[in-house]
Structure 1
């Protein structure tokens, strides 16, 4: 594997992918039925929450993705016994023997994952100390850990920066705090929740994230014995408790994966039934999908997404935002489909400042996409006047052709797969291991839908 980075290589190995390149023969519609299981952005955090309990927890509807394997490894080096039923999508997590892990072990399992920062609160409660390495993640913008460390200090943690990483201690235990988020960050909200539930006293978090994955994490913590209230004005209050028990929980579905397959149906002139998808969590996406010309049907067991046929696609204006707005993870796959909509579509990205790097490959394949530093949506955003390229103008329709492209990040990578599948000719997509971080059995699902590809160059 010459062009595959270390994390992509690890992800590829988890799904049995022994080459870094997939060769696609495009131009065929994707048709059929696939299943989505638990949300990557919830499941991994619920796994961390098991550290807070004193009894074994059970998590159901768990996808077999590399991020789940990474967190399993991190839990195991911290003494948690992890039993996995991959076929049944079930994890049993026993925290009876939690211990401090060596930094080298954490690094070996974490790679560039940012999940270790969320171990800090639970480990401080259980052991009085925690270690975290330097943290990475997808190349989509700045994801600083400064807030995480500041919040942990507010709870009473002492932070020592060492050459090999960061050591945290809680010599006087952790206590409740009043914390305000300048931006309703999902990761920051998770940090506060996982730390506050066993901190002494009351914690009040204002301007919190309220994504469905956050609410499901709150469900899990409440099952364990936490006392948490959520107000309509983005205020979360947590009353700390002395101990937490276990949970038995069925994860909500991965709405990001569901939206990706919906965009694939739209882009390839196909029809895909996404088993497990639910209307309520996808309300905003479904509205935009319909405005773009897409057709969908809601069923008890999933949602059927399809291209409108002769009616064709329509240009749209999209502005990403925190929930209940249009998710940033939804815009990348949908941009691929919008290259085939007659007219001009505009996407204003307000969540991450560097999320349009994936469009370079689309332009190489024939798309007409212009990037701008100005806020081209309906409102000014925090990236305005800061010299970030965060708006895209997509003109269509354009004829897309095969090309050699490299996956830049998780969602951008799946978008590249869609582009390769809708384009005429042959495309070679490298660095594909990254996609296994968040898309379960994506190669098997592509085969089920009729995609024509071979693994390897």
Structure 2
């Protein structure tokens, strides 16, 4: 199993282009099931998660072609017909978001058999709201032996759906199913994340009629069919925030390009509060730190536009070297402090109680062997390693490959000493 080794102490200086958003790309890929014409997605990241979903879509009848196009990395997905409505456990379990093929399959073919996604290391994350939304649209749902059997032989019907709490996945899933349902669907208490607006723009380019994405109320007027389209994936706000924190941790000056800084205003405000230099530009943001110790600040995760839970672990790593004590409250997922014990192996002073962690800044972190527990936790250990004395080795980095494209190359281009140790023992820069 591959590992990443980091020699800490090098300041970061240079430019990092931000890739397309993983959390958006995988839902846009699922939209290809809704039309018999090609969907061309540009600014596409090349990640383990997109490969997992591509494999599943291929099984369902979608041809998936990756290439370098005139607009950079692109993926063309084409499903002239759905050859199978069966999504097996061995594919769905690899990535929870692949469960979102269920709605498009029902909408287009009237039936589907999709595995439940199973557990998650950062919380239960049930799919109840997904299934309730599909039932409200007229699908008959049966659960048997770990699979969802869904039928809507007469098609889906528009409905009023009120989510009992905000769910990004359920909002996206309902949108994907409702665009070719008969009638009008209104989603109340919808998630407001930017990826939902990206999905709306892609679906509308395909001929859908969706309004209100990015607000708590989304209205979908069903159409008879969708057509092909070209759509550019939104820049990845979590990757942008991650590299912003990395620059603050290591010191130096890093320009993040192909980015939309307003998408991470909640993080950038906290970096400025901590004493980091932040300059918003026309195509991204510049992060500066001259070597002075940062101040401890508190954060509390919240749905967008609040502080993203997917940036909590990275910010905790930053606070391990800040002057003073910071409190970090996690309100989105339970069990999302599993990176704390690994940061403590590097010398961090952290205590966790329920959904709150207290981080008392230390003068120096020391390199050590640590283990990644999930995608965002794994990159927090890399960030900590950038400033730790000596060598830090992060194992189980398959988590990193799910969500960060060319991580080592982007960091080393700015002066970091980061290398991948292949499972055969060879190092790869």
Please state whether the residue corresponding to 1:112 is helix, strand or coil. Answer: coil
Native 8 Å contact 1:23 1:454 kept in 2: yes
Q: CA deviation at 1:308?
A: 4.2
Please state whether the residue corresponding to 2:219 is helix, strand or coil. Answer: strand
Q: CA deviation at 1:337?
A: 0.9
Q: CA deviation at 1:361?
A: 0.6
Q: CA deviation at 1:451?
A: 2.3
How many Å separate the matches in 1 of 2:265 and 2:253? Answer: 19
Native 8 Å contact 1:100 1:127 kept in 2: no
How many Å separate the matches in 1 of 2:115 and 2:308? Answer: 29
Which residue number in structure 1 is paired with residue 17 of structure 2? 35
How many Å separate the matches in 2 of 1:29 and 1:429? Answer: 20
Which residue number in structure 2 is paired with residue 94 of structure 1? 78
Native 8 Å contact 2:140 2:152 kept in 1: yes
Aligned partner (choices 333, 338, 344) of residue 363 of structure 1: 344
- More strand as a share of residues: 2
1:79-136 residue CA offsets vs partner (Å, 9 max, x unmatched)? 1111111573111111212221555xx4444343112321111111222211212314
Which residue number in structure 2 is paired with residue 316 of structure 1? 297
Show structure 1 runs of 4+ deviating over 3 A. 106-111
Aligned partner (choices 165, 168, 171) of residue 153 of structure 2: 171
How many Å separate the matches in 2 of 1:444 and 1:138? Answer: 29
* RMSD over equivalenced CA pairs, Å: 1.8
Native 8 Å contact 1:112 1:136 kept in 2: no
Which region of structure 1 is more displaced relative to structure 2, 23-32 or 77-86? 23-32
Which residue number in structure 2 is paired with residue 199 of structure 1? 181
After the TM superposition, which residues 163-312 of structure 1 pair with which residues of structure 2 at under 5 Å, given as runs? 163=145, 165-230=147-212, 234-310=216-292, 312=293
- Closer/same/farther in 2, CA of residues 415 and 305 from structure 1, 3 Å limit: same
How many Å separate the matches in 2 of 1:152 and 1:93? Answer: 24
- Count residues in correspondence: 420
Please state whether the residue corresponding to 2:312 is helix, strand or coil. Answer: helix
Q: CA deviation at 1:189?
A: 0.5
Q: TM-score, normalised by structure 1?
A: 0.88
Native 8 Å contact 1:211 1:323 kept in 2: yes
Which residue number in structure 2 is paired with residue 352 of structure 1? 333
How many Å separate the matches in 1 of 2:127 and 2:379? Answer: 27
Please state whether the residue corresponding to 1:22 is helix, strand or coil. Answer: strand
Which region of structure 1 is more displaced relative to structure 2, 432-441 or 271-280? 271-280
- Closer/same/farther in 2, CA of residues 119 and 283 from structure 1, 3 Å limit: same
Q: CA deviation at 1:329?
A: 0.9
Which region of structure 1 is more displaced relative to structure 2, 340-349 or 255-264? 340-349
Please state whether the residue corresponding to 2:342 is helix, strand or coil. Answer: helix
Asked if 1:438 corresponds to 2:419, the answer is no
| Runs of 5+ unmatched residues, structure 1 | 2-19, 373-388
Native 8 Å contact 1:62 1:251 kept in 2: yes
Q: TM-score, normalised by structure 2?
A: 0.93
Which residue number in structure 2 is paired with residue 384 of structure 1? none
1:161-204 residue CA offsets vs partner (Å, 9 max, x unmatched)? 23252221113321112111122110010011011111111111
1:318-342 residue CA offsets vs partner (Å, 9 max, x unmatched)? 1111111111112211111111111
Aligned partner (choices 311, 314, 318) of residue 337 of structure 1: 318
| Runs of 5+ unmatched residues, structure 2 | none
Native 8 Å contact 2:277 2:288 kept in 1: yes
